[in-house]
Structure 1
Amino acid sequence: MEMNGPSDIELIERIARQERAAFDTFYRRHERRLYHFILKKMNDPSEAYDILHEVFMEIWRKADRFEGRSKVSTWFFGIAFNKSVDRLRKKMPDQFPEDEDMDIEDEEVLNPMELVSATEEATLIAKCVEKLGEAQRAVVQLAFYEDMSYPEIAKVIERPEGTVKTRIFHAKQALKLCISKFAGV
């Protein structure tokens, strides 16, 4: 993404000094991307906006704690990820698997009419990504939609890089199965 104006690092340094203009610029630059990331996790626009607000409030309050050991985007996606996970845990404390293999069940397969409407490959893949378990969906979103490396993802989700690789591997297997079921292969 090409940016005009100060870099994210410069903005964070200015936000740490409580400069409102820097915060406004940072917010406008990242609000949409961050909102869509949260929305994919929460599947509820109202909750996604609530969490987005919490994330930006934390950025405002804790910008002075950013140490620069990762990219700024890794830092704020980590905040968003953790706030989303916390909200999901509060909503469904017994239904949040950590590292389970999430098999796609037959009853989750699209019916023929839905398949016809899913004419574009991107739509099909998005539908399959939605069927992944929370842990797998998170790493897929960060890797393929946010273009983060495995080490960056590991920092965001606060898990070892090997866990990220395992989750991506299992997610790819589940996606292949899902796509083949939808495509009738």
Structure 2
Amino acid sequence: MARATTTTSGELVLRCQQQERTAQAEFYKKYRQDVARTLYKVLGPDSDLEDALQDVFVEVFRSIDKFKGQSKITTWLYRVSVNVALQKLRRRKRRPEGYASAPKEELPDHETPMRALQRKESARLVYGILDTIAPKKRTVFILSEIFGMSAKEISEVVETNPLTVRTRLHYARKEFFKKALASDIPIALGAFDGDLAEPEA
């Protein structure tokens, strides 16, 4: 994750635990983009991204005293971000129409506007399917297929054992690809990573 200053993560966390306002502002600046990226990948193109981002940091500063350094601060942030995203998914009855609020991105040098449009449409179709999958299965699927995490890494984020992660992932993959085939949608998840990963700073 990003390194905004020469202050170490441990020092920054300690200052935040002491409720130092300047440290909280520095922490937010340092990790905002990474948290936004995580939320965008889990939630998809959604109008409440900024609300979710604020919810994450409210929870971070409310519960940072509980962080004892037994895991990396980035793992703990993933955990808080995923928990907030899961709450959003459970409350969301249906996806709002339109994707005008999706984070903006600049085209890679090698990408044409047509290719970018096709990639965005592919991402829209992917999230259309993901919206039909139960939140816990959807989350492990995204952490595995898009973030590239191992079952052990995912288990640390979602706070369950690796066997449960593998079970959820097995059924999530089965459900996802069955629905993709039934919808006659060609799916190559790696092709969407750039589109899913870069919320606007």
Relative to the length of structure 2, the TM-score reads 0.62
Shift of 1:148: 3.5
What does 1:153-168 correspond to in 2, within 5 Å?
153-168=154-169
In structure 1, what is the equivalent of residue 16 of structure 2?
A: 15
Instruction: Tell me the SS of whatever aligns to 2:19.
Output: coil
CA contact (8 A) 1:15 1:60 kept: yes
Residue number among 43, 46, 65 corresponding to 1:44 in the alignment? 46
In structure 2, what is the equivalent of residue 103 of structure 1?
A: none
Which stretches in structure 2 are left out of the alignment for 5+ residues? 95-114, 188-201
Shift of 1:12: 1.2
Instruction: Tell me the SS of whatever aligns to 1:68.
Output: coil
Q: Which amino acid aligns with 1:6?
A: T
Shift of 1:7: 3.2
Deviations along 1:56-92, one digit per CA (max 9) or x if unpaired, are 1222222221011222122122122222323443455
What does 1:86-101 correspond to in 2, within 5 Å?
86-92=87-93
> 1:125 and 1:90, CA in 2 relative to 1: closer, same or farther beyond 3 A?
closer
CA contact (8 A) 1:139 1:167 kept: yes
Q: Higher relative contact order by CA 8 Å / sep ≥ 6: 1 or 2?
A: 2
What does 1:55-66 correspond to in 2, within 5 Å?
55-66=56-67
Shift of 1:19: 2.3
Residue number among 158, 183, 186 corresponding to 1:183 in the alignment? 186
Shift of 1:138: 1.0
In 1, Cα distance between equivalents of 2:148 and 2:19:
30
In 1, Cα distance between equivalents of 2:7 and 2:181:
42
CA contact (8 A) 1:15 1:23 kept: yes
Instruction: Tell me the SS of whatever aligns to 1:182.
Output: coil
In 1, Cα distance between equivalents of 2:21 and 2:76:
20
Relative to the length of structure 1, the TM-score reads 0.66
In 2, Cα distance between equivalents of 1:81 and 1:25:
22
Shift of 1:32: 2.1
Matched, 1:3 2:6: no
Relative to its length, the structure with more helix (as a share) is: 1
CA contact (8 A) 1:51 1:83 kept: yes
Instruction: Tell me the SS of whatever aligns to 2:185.
Output: helix
**What is the total number of aligned residue pairs between the two structures?**
160
CA contact (8 A) 2:28 2:57 kept: yes
In 2, Cα distance between equivalents of 1:151 and 1:59:
23
Among the aligned pairs, what percent are the same residue?
A: 26
